[in-house]
C-alpha cells in the first residue's frame, strides 16, 4: 500500500505527498514497495513529491534514495512511541 495526496490550492498544486508505505511482513523483500513507489512516480504530474521516514528505518531510507529522493531536513524526536523518541528525515523527489 502507498498513500498519495496531491497538493491543494493554487500555491501547492505543483506537489504531492507520499504517506503510509506498507507491505505485509510475509511479502517484504520482494521489491513490492519499490514497484508501488515507481508507479506513483510514473503517474506523477506533480513537479515535486515529498515524504518523511523514521531515520531508524534504514531499509526505507535506502529505497527512497535509490529511487532519487533527496534529504532536505531532519526533525529530532518527531515521533514518540512508548516513551521513546524517533527522528524523521524529510525527503523530496523532483520530477525530471
- All three cell numbers of 25: 511482513
Q: What number of other Cβ atoms are within 10 A of residue 13's Cβ?
A: 13
Domain with 39 in it: 3-94
Q: How many domains does the chain have?
A: 1
Mean pLDDT on 18-42? 96
Mean pLDDT in residue range 49-61:
97
> 84 - beta bridge partners?
81
**Residue 44: pLDDT band with limits 50, 70, 90:** confident
CATH number at residue 68: 3.40.630.30
Q: Categorize the per-residue pLDDT at 45 as very low, low, confident or very high, splitting at 50, 70 and 90.
A: confident
Strands 70-81 and 3-6: unpaired
User: What is the model's pLDDT at position 34?
Assistant: 98
Residues of the chain with pLDDT > 70, as a percent, come to 100
Q: What is the pLDDT of residue 73?
A: 98
CA distance 70 to 87: 17
Of 30, 49, 33, the closest CA to residue 41 belongs to: 49
Amino acid at each position: 500500500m502507498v498513500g498519495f495526496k496531491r497538493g491543494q490550492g493554487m500555491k501547492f498544486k505543483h506537489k504531492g505527498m507520499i504517506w503510509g508505505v506498507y507491505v505485509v511482513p510475509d511479502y517484504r523483500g520482494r521489491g513490492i514497495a519499490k514497484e508501488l513507489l515507481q508507479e506513483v512516480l510514473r503517474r506523477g504530474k506533480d513537479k515535486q513529491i515529498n515524504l518523511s521516514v523514521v531515520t531508524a528505518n534504514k531499509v526505507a531510507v535506502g529505497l527512497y534514495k535509490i529511487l532519487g529522493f533527496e534529504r532536505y531536513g531532519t526533525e529530532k524526536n518527531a515521533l514518540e512511541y512508548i516513551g521513546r523518541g524517533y527522528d524523521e528525515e524529510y525527503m523530496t523527489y523532483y520530477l525530471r
